[in-house]
Amino acid sequence: MVLQLMIRNWSNLAFNQVPDSDNRIHSDEIAKAYGFVGALVPGVTVSSYLIHPAIEAWGMAWLQRGYAHVKVLSPLYDQARFEVITAASDKSFKAELFSQQTLCAVAEVELPDSSGTCPVYRGDPLISDAHQAPAANRQSMEALQNSGCLAMEFLWAVDCQMAAYLRDQSAMPALLRTDHAAGSQGYANPAYLLGVANRHFAAVALMSPWIHMETRSRNFQALPLNTELISEMTIVELFNKKGHEFADCTFNLFRKDTKECICSIEQRAIYQMRPV
Protein backbone atom coordinates (compact mmCIF):
# COMPACT_ATOMS: atom_id res chain seq x y z
CA MET A 1 0.00 0.00 0.00
CA VAL A 2 1.36 3.42 -0.98
CA LEU A 3 0.81 6.18 1.57
CA GLN A 4 -0.88 9.35 0.32
CA LEU A 5 1.54 11.60 2.22
CA MET A 6 4.43 11.24 4.61
CA ILE A 7 3.65 11.29 8.32
CA ARG A 8 4.65 14.81 9.33
CA ASN A 9 5.12 16.93 12.41
CA TRP A 10 2.72 19.82 12.86
CA SER A 11 1.85 22.71 15.16
CA ASN A 12 -1.16 24.89 15.90
CA LEU A 13 -3.07 26.61 18.73
CA ALA A 14 -5.07 24.50 21.20
CA PHE A 15 -8.85 24.89 21.17
CA ASN A 16 -11.14 24.33 24.18
CA GLN A 17 -14.47 23.75 22.41
CA VAL A 18 -16.46 23.30 25.63
CA PRO A 19 -15.75 26.12 28.15
CA ASP A 20 -19.39 25.86 29.30
CA SER A 21 -19.36 22.05 29.64
CA ASP A 22 -21.03 20.37 32.62
CA ASN A 23 -17.54 19.08 33.32
CA ARG A 24 -16.23 22.23 34.97
CA ILE A 25 -12.58 21.20 34.63
CA HIS A 26 -12.94 22.94 31.26
CA SER A 27 -13.68 26.22 33.05
CA ASP A 28 -11.01 28.55 34.44
CA GLU A 29 -12.61 28.81 37.87
CA ILE A 30 -12.75 25.11 38.74
CA ALA A 31 -9.52 24.19 36.95
CA LYS A 32 -7.62 26.83 38.92
CA ALA A 33 -9.20 25.58 42.16
CA TYR A 34 -7.56 22.21 41.45
CA GLY A 35 -4.18 23.81 40.85
CA PHE A 36 -4.19 24.14 37.06
CA VAL A 37 -3.22 27.34 35.21
CA GLY A 38 -6.63 27.55 33.57
CA ALA A 39 -9.33 25.57 31.79
CA LEU A 40 -8.14 22.24 30.38
CA VAL A 41 -8.51 21.49 26.69
CA PRO A 42 -10.52 18.23 26.49
CA GLY A 43 -8.47 15.05 26.44
CA VAL A 44 -10.32 13.93 23.31
CA THR A 45 -9.21 17.13 21.57
CA VAL A 46 -5.61 16.53 22.62
CA SER A 47 -6.00 13.01 21.20
CA SER A 48 -7.19 14.40 17.87
CA TYR A 49 -4.01 16.49 17.59
CA LEU A 50 -1.89 13.33 17.89
CA ILE A 51 -4.08 11.43 15.40
CA HIS A 52 -4.20 14.32 12.89
CA PRO A 53 -1.01 13.21 11.01
CA ALA A 54 -2.59 9.79 10.38
CA ILE A 55 -5.62 11.26 8.64
CA GLU A 56 -3.45 13.59 6.58
CA ALA A 57 -1.31 10.67 5.45
CA TRP A 58 -3.75 7.76 5.23
CA GLY A 59 -7.04 9.56 4.66
CA MET A 60 -10.17 7.44 4.36
CA ALA A 61 -8.23 4.25 5.06
CA TRP A 62 -7.54 5.44 8.61
CA LEU A 63 -11.18 6.46 9.18
CA GLN A 64 -12.20 2.96 8.12
CA ARG A 65 -9.68 0.83 10.04
CA GLY A 66 -7.20 3.00 11.98
CA TYR A 67 -6.08 2.31 15.55
CA ALA A 68 -4.74 4.75 18.15
CA HIS A 69 -3.55 4.49 21.74
CA VAL A 70 -3.30 7.92 23.40
CA LYS A 71 -2.21 8.87 26.93
CA VAL A 72 -2.74 12.37 28.31
CA LEU A 73 0.12 13.20 30.69
CA SER A 74 -0.15 16.91 31.43
CA PRO A 75 -2.69 19.70 30.82
CA LEU A 76 -2.94 21.54 27.51
CA TYR A 77 -4.47 25.01 27.81
CA ASP A 78 -6.75 26.94 25.48
CA GLN A 79 -4.93 28.94 22.78
CA ALA A 80 -1.52 27.61 23.86
CA ARG A 81 0.84 26.72 21.03
CA PHE A 82 1.42 22.96 20.74
CA GLU A 83 3.74 20.90 18.57
CA VAL A 84 3.33 17.25 17.60
CA ILE A 85 6.58 15.37 16.91
CA THR A 86 6.31 12.05 15.09
CA ALA A 87 8.55 9.05 14.49
CA ALA A 88 7.11 6.91 11.69
CA SER A 89 7.57 3.46 10.22
CA ASP A 90 5.66 1.93 7.29
CA LYS A 91 2.11 1.78 8.68
CA SER A 92 2.50 3.19 12.16
CA PHE A 93 4.00 6.07 14.06
CA LYS A 94 4.66 7.30 17.57
CA ALA A 95 3.81 10.88 18.45
CA GLU A 96 4.52 13.28 21.28
CA LEU A 97 2.66 16.53 21.93
CA PHE A 98 4.58 19.36 23.57
CA SER A 99 3.36 22.73 24.80
CA GLN A 100 5.49 25.31 26.60
CA GLN A 101 8.32 22.74 26.69
CA THR A 102 6.10 20.25 28.56
CA LEU A 103 5.26 16.78 27.26
CA CYS A 104 1.45 16.80 27.40
CA ALA A 105 0.49 13.56 25.63
CA VAL A 106 1.86 10.58 23.72
CA ALA A 107 0.35 8.23 21.15
CA GLU A 108 0.92 5.10 19.12
CA VAL A 109 -1.06 5.18 15.87
CA GLU A 110 -1.39 2.38 13.32
CA LEU A 111 -3.02 1.55 10.00
CA PRO A 112 -3.68 -2.22 10.24
CA ASP A 113 -4.17 -4.25 7.07
CA SER A 114 -7.72 -5.01 8.20
CA SER A 115 -10.12 -3.54 10.74
CA GLY A 116 -10.46 -6.80 12.65
CA THR A 117 -13.61 -8.22 14.21
CA CYS A 118 -16.44 -5.71 14.63
CA PRO A 119 -18.28 -5.54 17.96
CA VAL A 120 -21.87 -6.78 17.78
CA TYR A 121 -24.80 -4.53 18.70
CA ARG A 122 -26.43 -5.72 21.94
CA GLY A 123 -29.56 -3.59 21.92
CA ASP A 124 -29.12 -2.18 25.43
CA PRO A 125 -32.02 0.00 26.70
CA LEU A 126 -31.53 3.71 26.00
CA ILE A 127 -31.14 6.54 28.51
CA SER A 128 -34.41 8.52 28.52
CA ASP A 129 -34.91 12.24 29.10
CA ALA A 130 -36.44 11.36 32.47
CA HIS A 131 -33.42 9.32 33.60
CA GLN A 132 -32.06 10.32 37.01
CA ALA A 133 -28.35 9.53 37.14
CA PRO A 134 -26.80 8.76 40.55
CA ALA A 135 -23.90 10.75 41.98
CA ALA A 136 -20.59 9.25 40.86
CA ASN A 137 -18.85 7.41 43.69
CA ARG A 138 -17.39 3.94 44.13
CA GLN A 139 -20.69 2.47 45.32
CA SER A 140 -22.78 3.82 42.43
CA MET A 141 -20.13 2.95 39.84
CA GLU A 142 -19.87 -0.61 41.16
CA ALA A 143 -23.66 -0.89 40.91
CA LEU A 144 -23.49 0.21 37.26
CA GLN A 145 -20.65 -2.19 36.63
CA ASN A 146 -22.74 -5.07 37.98
CA SER A 147 -26.13 -4.15 36.48
CA GLY A 148 -24.93 -2.75 33.15
CA CYS A 149 -25.15 0.77 31.72
CA LEU A 150 -27.91 2.25 29.59
CA ALA A 151 -27.06 3.06 25.98
CA MET A 152 -27.16 6.61 24.59
CA GLU A 153 -28.10 8.23 21.26
CA PHE A 154 -26.10 10.90 19.42
CA LEU A 155 -26.26 12.81 16.15
CA TRP A 156 -23.15 13.78 14.18
CA ALA A 157 -23.96 17.22 12.75
CA VAL A 158 -22.34 20.52 11.81
CA ASP A 159 -23.55 22.22 15.01
CA CYS A 160 -21.91 19.67 17.37
CA GLN A 161 -19.51 21.22 19.87
CA MET A 162 -16.85 18.79 18.65
CA ALA A 163 -17.45 19.46 14.95
CA ALA A 164 -13.91 20.86 14.77
CA TYR A 165 -10.78 20.42 16.86
CA LEU A 166 -9.25 23.73 15.70
CA ARG A 167 -10.78 27.20 15.68
CA ASP A 168 -9.73 27.53 12.04
CA GLN A 169 -10.85 24.43 10.17
CA SER A 170 -8.62 25.27 7.21
CA ALA A 171 -5.79 23.45 9.00
CA MET A 172 -7.86 20.25 9.32
CA PRO A 173 -7.90 17.54 6.63
CA ALA A 174 -10.65 18.12 4.03
CA LEU A 175 -12.17 14.75 4.95
CA LEU A 176 -13.06 16.15 8.40
CA ARG A 177 -14.03 19.73 7.61
CA THR A 178 -17.64 20.82 8.06
CA ASP A 179 -17.15 24.45 6.98
CA HIS A 180 -18.50 24.00 3.41
CA ALA A 181 -15.17 25.04 1.92
CA ALA A 182 -14.18 23.50 -1.41
CA GLY A 183 -13.36 19.83 -0.86
CA SER A 184 -14.86 19.63 2.64
CA GLN A 185 -16.40 16.19 3.21
CA GLY A 186 -17.64 16.38 6.80
CA TYR A 187 -16.76 12.96 8.18
CA ALA A 188 -16.66 12.72 11.98
CA ASN A 189 -13.29 13.66 13.47
CA PRO A 190 -11.53 11.79 16.32
CA ALA A 191 -12.42 14.44 18.91
CA TYR A 192 -16.12 13.91 18.17
CA LEU A 193 -16.01 10.10 18.25
CA LEU A 194 -13.94 9.96 21.44
CA GLY A 195 -16.15 12.75 22.79
CA VAL A 196 -19.22 10.54 22.35
CA ALA A 197 -17.63 8.11 24.80
CA ASN A 198 -16.88 11.02 27.15
CA ARG A 199 -20.46 12.29 27.07
CA HIS A 200 -21.88 8.80 27.58
CA PHE A 201 -19.54 8.24 30.53
CA ALA A 202 -20.63 11.50 32.17
CA ALA A 203 -24.33 10.73 31.60
CA VAL A 204 -24.52 7.44 33.51
CA ALA A 205 -23.46 9.12 36.79
CA LEU A 206 -23.23 12.74 37.90
CA MET A 207 -19.57 13.77 37.99
CA SER A 208 -17.79 17.12 37.89
CA PRO A 209 -14.97 17.71 37.59
CA TRP A 210 -13.58 14.62 35.94
CA ILE A 211 -10.58 14.04 33.65
CA HIS A 212 -10.09 11.96 30.51
CA MET A 213 -6.73 10.17 30.74
CA GLU A 214 -6.26 7.48 28.10
CA THR A 215 -7.95 5.79 25.14
CA ARG A 216 -7.44 2.89 22.78
CA SER A 217 -9.69 3.31 19.76
CA ARG A 218 -10.26 1.26 16.62
CA ASN A 219 -12.25 2.44 13.59
CA PHE A 220 -14.49 0.25 11.44
CA GLN A 221 -16.02 2.80 9.06
CA ALA A 222 -16.16 6.55 8.49
CA LEU A 223 -19.16 8.44 9.90
CA PRO A 224 -20.87 10.83 7.43
CA LEU A 225 -22.66 14.03 8.45
CA ASN A 226 -26.22 13.85 9.79
CA THR A 227 -25.87 10.24 10.92
CA GLU A 228 -27.39 9.02 14.19
CA LEU A 229 -25.35 6.90 16.56
CA ILE A 230 -26.02 4.59 19.49
CA SER A 231 -23.26 4.15 22.07
CA GLU A 232 -23.19 1.01 24.24
CA MET A 233 -21.06 1.15 27.38
CA THR A 234 -19.47 -1.34 29.79
CA ILE A 235 -17.58 -0.53 33.00
CA VAL A 236 -14.62 -2.92 33.04
CA GLU A 237 -12.62 -1.94 36.12
CA LEU A 238 -12.72 0.56 39.00
CA PHE A 239 -9.71 1.49 41.12
CA ASN A 240 -8.17 4.18 43.33
CA LYS A 241 -4.77 5.72 42.62
CA LYS A 242 -3.22 8.60 44.58
CA GLY A 243 -6.62 9.52 45.99
CA HIS A 244 -8.34 9.70 42.59
CA GLU A 245 -11.12 7.27 41.62
CA PHE A 246 -10.57 5.79 38.15
CA ALA A 247 -12.84 3.90 35.76
CA ASP A 248 -11.84 1.79 32.77
CA CYS A 249 -14.75 1.50 30.33
CA THR A 250 -15.46 0.29 26.81
CA PHE A 251 -17.77 2.04 24.36
CA ASN A 252 -18.96 0.64 21.04
CA LEU A 253 -20.48 3.21 18.67
CA PHE A 254 -23.04 1.94 16.14
CA ARG A 255 -24.99 3.55 13.30
CA LYS A 256 -28.57 3.74 14.49
CA ASP A 257 -29.98 2.80 11.07
CA THR A 258 -27.86 -0.25 10.22
CA LYS A 259 -26.44 -1.22 13.65
CA GLU A 260 -22.98 -1.39 12.03
CA CYS A 261 -20.09 -0.51 14.32
CA ILE A 262 -18.31 2.78 13.60
CA CYS A 263 -15.72 2.72 16.34
CA SER A 264 -14.73 0.80 19.47
CA ILE A 265 -13.16 2.74 22.35
CA GLU A 266 -11.43 1.70 25.59
CA GLN A 267 -11.28 4.70 27.92
CA ARG A 268 -9.61 5.42 31.26
CA ALA A 269 -10.83 8.44 33.23
CA ILE A 270 -10.79 9.92 36.73
CA TYR A 271 -14.47 10.17 37.69
CA GLN A 272 -13.88 11.48 41.21
CA MET A 273 -10.86 13.68 41.93
CA ARG A 274 -9.24 13.75 45.35
CA PRO A 275 -10.26 16.75 47.49
CA VAL A 276 -8.55 20.05 46.72
Report CA 194 to chain centroid distance, whole Å.
2
Give the pLDDT score at 164: 95
CA angle (86, 161, 251) in 5-degree steps: 70
pLDDT over 50 (residue 143): yes
CB 262 within 8 A of CB 269: no
Instruction: List, for residues 186-203, the tens digit of each pLDDT value.
Output: 999 999 999 999 999 999
CB 262 within 8 A of CB 223: yes
pLDDT over 80 (residue 32): no
Go through the domains of the chain in sequence order and give each one's CATH number. Answer: 10-272 (2.40.160.210)
- pLDDT band for position 1 (cuts 50, 70, 90): very low
Percentage, residues of the chain above pLDDT 70:
91
Give the pLDDT score at 118: 95
pLDDT over 90 (residue 39): no
Whole-number average pLDDT of the chain: 91
Amino acid present at 167: R
pLDDT over 60 (residue 115): yes
Give the pLDDT score at 114: 86
pLDDT over 70 (residue 29): no
- What value does the mean pLDDT take over residues 52-77? 96
77: DSSP letter? B
- What value does the mean pLDDT take over residues 32-60? 86
Cβ neighbors of 187 (< 8 A, separation 6 or more) are 63, 175, 176, 222, 223, 224, 225
Lowest average pLDDT, out of 68-82, 102-116, 199-213, goes to 199-213
Give the residue, 135 or 31, on which the prediction is more confident: 135
202: DSSP letter? H
Instruction: List, for residues 85-99, the tens digit of each pLDDT value.
Output: 999 988 999 999 999
Helix ranges (DSSP H) in 3-128: 28-33, 43-58, 60-65
